[in-house]
Amino acid sequence: MSLNSVILKNFFKNLKNYTLYIFALVFSVALYFSFVLMSQDDGVAEELTSSELMSTGFIVGSVLLIVIIATFVMFANSIFLKRRNRELALFQLIGMTREKIFRMLIVENAVIYFGSLIIGIALGFLVYRMLLMVLLRLMQIDLSVGMTFSIEAVIQTALLFIFIFALLLAQNYIFLKKTSLIKMLKLEQSSEASYRGMGAVTVLFGTLGLVMIISGYWLSASMMNFTNALIFLMFGVLFLTIAGTYITFKFSVAFLLNMLRKSKNGHVNVNDVLSLTSIMFKMKSNAFLLTLISVVSAISMGLMSLSYISYYSVEDTIEASVPNDYTFYEEEDMEYYSDLLNENDIEHETVNIPTVSYDVEGDAIAIDAEAPGGFDTALALSMVSEEHVDGFEVEGDEIIITGVPYFLDSYIEFKLNETITLISDDYERDVELVSMGENAILSSFVTYGSPQAIVSNEVYEELEENHNYDEEMNQPREGFAIDITGEDSESIYQLMNEDNYSQFESKINQYNMQMQGTGLVMFIVGFVGFAFLLTSGCILYFKQIGESEDEKGSYNILRKLGFTENEILKGLTIKMVVTFGIPLLIGLLHTYFAVNAGGFLFGNEIWTPMLTVMGVYITLYSIFALISLMYYKKVVKRSI
C-alpha cells in the first residue's frame, strides 16, 4: 500500500467525523458570500434613502463575520487535531517524517476546505435571494429581487477563505512542531489525571464568582442612580459580569455540584455519575471557552434584542411623537401645499394649533431626583386649548397631559387627581391632572420635545394672556399641519416632495426612513448573531463528541455492571441539559439585565422583542443539544 492510498483511506474514514464541521464551514461560506453579494446589490442601494448607512452596516457586519468564522475554523481545527493525535503519532512511529504528515494534513484540509468553499458559494448564491427578500421585507421596501452574480464577491470570499486556510496551516505546523512523539502518545491520558478533590481555593473562588455576577447585575439595575460615575460604573458592570462568568465556570459550577454531591455522601446513582460528576470536571477545563461563548451570546442576544426593540417600536414611537401626516414650519407653506393637494383632488384637512409653553411643578409631578441628563430646569409643558384638538375632554380647571417621550417616561411619574402649578415668571395657575393621553398632538419642533397639555378654552385664554412673551423663544408658537383624509400614501408624499416649494416633515417618510434604518441594523445584527450561534453551537457539539470518546470507558463499565442503555441515556440527557443550559442560562441572564438597563433608550416595547430573540436562541441551542444527545446514543450503543 503506497503512502497516498493510506492517506486517502484514512481521509475517507475520518470524513464521517468531519460531517458537522463541513456543514458549518459550508454554511459560514454561504453566509459570508451572500452577505457580500447583498452589500453589492445596486438595486437595493438605489432604493434606500441612506445608502451610506447600508454600506457601513455591511462593512461592520462582514468584519464581525470574518472574526467569527476565523475563530470557529481554528478552534474546530484544534479540536480535530487533538482527536487525531494518536493517529498522527502512529504515523510518526512507523517512520513518517513530520513534513510528510504536515503535507498529508495540508492535502486533507485543502480538500475539505476548498470543497466546502465551492459548495458554500453555490449555496450562498441561492440563499442570497432569499435573504435579500427578508431584508427588503424588514425594511418594507417593495422591489422585485433580481439575480446578480458578482465575480468580485466570489473573489472576495475566496481570498478571505484562503487567508483563513493559511492560518490553519500555520496552526497545524505549530502543533506538529511543538509536540513530541511521546507527548502525542500520552496526550490522551493526560486529561484523566485531573480528577482530583477540591481544595479550599475552589470553595473561595466558587463563592466569589457568584457574588461577582450578582453584584454586577445589581449595579446594572441601579446604575441610573449614580449618574456622575456612569462610564466608570459601566466598565465595572462589564468587568464584574465577564470575570464573574469565567470564575463561575471555573469554580462555582464545580463548587455547587460538589456541594450537591457531598450531600449525597457517596450514594450516587447512575444519573449523577453521567451528569453531575462529569460536568464538575469538564466545565472547569472548558471555563475559558464557555465564558467566551456565554459572553458573546449575551452580547449578540442583547444587540439583537435592542435592535429588534427599536425596529418593533418604530410605529409606536412615530405615532406617539408625530401627530400629523405633514407638518410645516410656516403657515404659508401649509397653505401652499393645501392648494397643491386641492389641485390634485386629494381630500385633506389643515390643522392649526396655537400653543404656549409653561413651566410646571406640583404634587402631580414626581421627577426622579437622580435622573441622568440633568433635570435641573423645571419640566415644561406645551399648553393647548381643547377646542383645537379632537378626542380630549376637559372642563374647568382640569388638565390632560399627553405625548410624553418614552425616555422621559422612566424618570417622571405623573399622579392623577393631584394639583399641577403652571408657572410663567410671576404668574401661577393651579390645575388638576385628570388623565394621561398617549399620542403627541404637536410636532416636536414646535414643543422642543416637551410633553403637551390640554386645558379648557377658558383656562387657555387666561394662560395666553398672562404668558410672558419672549421674543427669543418665539412664543407663542403655532403648529401647522395637514392630515390627509383616509390613508396617506407614498405617492402623495412624492407629489409634494417633487414640488419642492419648501421643506416640510412627512410622517410617512419618517416612518419609512426609520423602518429602513432599524430594519437594516436588525438584519445585520441578526445575521452576524446567527452565524455566531451556529458556530458556537457547533463548537459545543464538537466538545461533546470529544467528551463522549473520553467517557466511552465509563459507559462500558456501566453497561457491564448492568445499567441499561436507557438508564445511561437518561443520565446523559441531564448532562446535555446542564452543559448547554448553563452557558445559555448565563447568556440569557446577562442579556436580560443588559436590555433592562438600556432598553428604554431604544423603544417602549421591551418584552416582546427580547422574549422573541431569547426564544430563538433557546430553540437553536436545544437543537444542538439534541444532536449531541443523538451522538451520545450511538456511542453508548456501541460501548459494549
Partner 1 sequence: MILEAKGIKKSYGKRVNRTEVLKGIDLSIEQGEFVSIMGASGSGKTTLLNVLSSIDRVTSGHIFIEGQDITALKDKKLAEFRKNDLGFMFQEYNLLNTLTVKENILLPLSIRSMKKAEVEKQFKVVAEELEIYDLKGKYPSEISGGQQQRTSAARAYIHQPKIIFADEPTGALDSKAASNLLRKLQQLNDKSNSTIMMVTHDATAASYSGRVIFLKDGLIYSTLRKGDRSQEEYYKEIMNTQSVLGGVGVES
Span of 135-143, 230-238, 274-282, 374-382 interacting with partner 1 by CB under 8 A:
274-282
d(CA 178, CA 102): 13
Q: Which of 557, 585, 601, 611 binds partner 1 (CB under 8 A)?
A: 557
Looking at the DSSP assignment, which residues form a beta bridge with residue 480? 328, 352
Q: State the nearest-atom distance from the C-beta of 101 to partner 1, in Å.
A: 30
Contact with partner 1 (CB under 8 A) among 553, 608, 623, 634: 553
Question: Closer CB to partner 1, residue 183 or residue 637?
Answer: 637
**Least distance CB 560 / partner 1 (angstroms):** 6
Site string for partner 1, 23-42 (x = CB under 8 A): --------------------
| E strand residue ranges, 386-527 | 398-402, 412-414, 419-424, 427-436, 452-455, 477-484, 504-506
* Choice from 1, 190, 263, 266 touching partner 1 (CB under 8 A): 266
Q: How far apart are CA 54 and CA 517, in angstroms?
A: 8
Burial class (CB in 10 A: 0-12, 13-18, 19+), 323: buried
| Candidate segments 58-66, 156-164, 271-279, 385-393, binder of partner 1 by CB under 8 A | 271-279
Contact positions with partner 1 (CB under 8 A) in 507-526:
none
* Cβ nearer to partner 1, comparing 202 with 277: 277
Examine residue 193 and tell whether it contacts partner 1 (CB under 8 A): yes
Asked if 382 contacts 447 with a C-beta cutoff of 8 angstroms, the reply is yes
**Is residue 373 within the footprint of partner 1 (CB under 8 A)?**
no
**166: which 3 cell numbers?**
493559511
Selected from 559, 604, 616, 627, the binder of partner 1 by CB under 8 A is 559
Binds partner 1 (CB under 8 A): choice among 141, 167, 270, 495:
270
φ/ψ region of 380 (left if φ > 0, alpha if ψ in -120 to 50, else beta) reads beta
**Is 280 one of the binding residues for partner 1 (CB under 8 A)?**
yes
Q: Which stretch binds partner 1 (CB under 8 A): 261-269, 297-305, 333-341, 592-600?
A: 261-269
**Least Cβ distance, residue 553 to partner 1 (angstroms):** 8
Helix (H, G, I), strand (E, B) or coil at 48: coil
Query: Are the beta carbons of 209 and 247 closer than 8 angstroms?
Result: yes
Choose between 282 and 507: whose C-beta lies nearer to partner 1: 282
Strands 348-361 and 365-367: unpaired
The strand pair at 477-484 and 504-506 is best described as unpaired
Give the span between the Cα atoms of 349 and 325, in whole angstroms.
Answer: 10
Contacts of 330 (CB under 8 A, 6+ apart): 480, 502
- When asked if residue 563 is in the footprint of partner 1 (CB under 8 A), the reply is yes
Residue from 13, 137, 415, 560 binding partner 1 (CB under 8 A): 560
Do residues 419 and 350 lie in contact, with contact meaning Cβ atoms separated by under 8 Å?
A: no
DSSP three-state, residue 624: helix
174 binds partner 1 (CB under 8 A): no
> Cβ of residue 552: shortest distance to partner 1, in angstroms?
12
List all residues 6 or more positions away from 526 whose beta carbon is below 8 Å from its beta carbon. 304, 307
Q: Which residue type, as a one-letter code, is found at position 403? A: G
CB of 541 to partner 1, least distance (A): 21
How many CB atoms within 10 Å of residue 296? 17
**Closer to partner 1 by Cβ: residue 195 or 235:** 195
CA distance readout (Å), 327 to 153, 317, 491, 505, 509:
44, 17, 17, 5, 12
Query: Which C-beta is closer to partner 1: that of 282 or that of 590?
Result: 282
User: Which range, of 247-255, 276-284, 298-306, 404-412, touches partner 1 by CB under 8 A?
Assistant: 276-284
Among 5, 19, 178, 195, binds partner 1 (CB under 8 A): 195
Nearest-approach distance from CB 574 to partner 1, in angstroms: 14
Q: Determine which residue in the list 267, 390, 426, 487 makes contact with partner 1, applying CB under 8 A.
A: 267
165 vs 281 by CB, closer to partner 1: 281
By CB under 8 A, what part of segment 285-344 binds partner 1? none
Question: With binding defined as CB under 8 A, does residue 12 bind partner 1?
Answer: no
DSSP state letter for 42: H
Q: Is 277 in the site for partner 1 (CB under 8 A)?
A: yes
Number of residues that bind partner 1 (CB under 8 A): 29
CB atoms within 10 A of CB 615: 10
142 binds partner 1, rule: CB under 8 A:
no
- Sign of the dihedral defined by the CA atoms of residues 506, 512, 518, 524, in that order: negative
C-alpha cell at 106: 495540508
Rule CB under 8 A: say whether 269 interacts with partner 1.
Answer: yes
Q: Which of 95, 374, 486, 562 binds partner 1 (CB under 8 A)?
A: 562
Q: Which three three-digit cell numbers place residue 226?
A: 449614580
Can you read off the three cell numbers belonging to residue 423? 408657572
The Cα-based distances of 227 to 219, 412, 615, 630 in angstroms read 12, 16, 33, 51
Residue 263 in the binding site for partner 1 (CB under 8 A)? no
Preceding peptide of 476 cis, ω within 30°: yes
Q: Answer for the pair 371, 227: CB distance below 8 angstroms, yes or no.
A: yes
The three grid cell numbers given for residue 393, joined into one nine-digit string: 375632554
Counting contacts by CB under 8 A, is residue 251 touching partner 1?
Answer: no
Q: Which of 564, 608, 626, 637 binds partner 1 (CB under 8 A)?
A: 564
Report the distance separating Cα 233 and Cα 227, nearest Å: 9
Q: How far is the CB of 270 from partner 1 (least distance, A)?
A: 6
β-pairing verdict for 379-385 and 348-361: antiparallel
Closer to partner 1 at the Cβ: 172 or 275?
Answer: 275
Work out which of 109, 156, 171, 278 binds partner 1, going by CB under 8 A: 278
Residue closer to partner 1 by CB (options 421, 554) is: 554
Q: Based on CB atoms, which residue is closest to partner 1, 369 or 561?
A: 561
Residues of the shown chain interacting with partner 1 in the complex, contacts defined by CB under 8 A: 192-197, 265-270, 273, 277-278, 280-281, 553-554, 556-564, 640
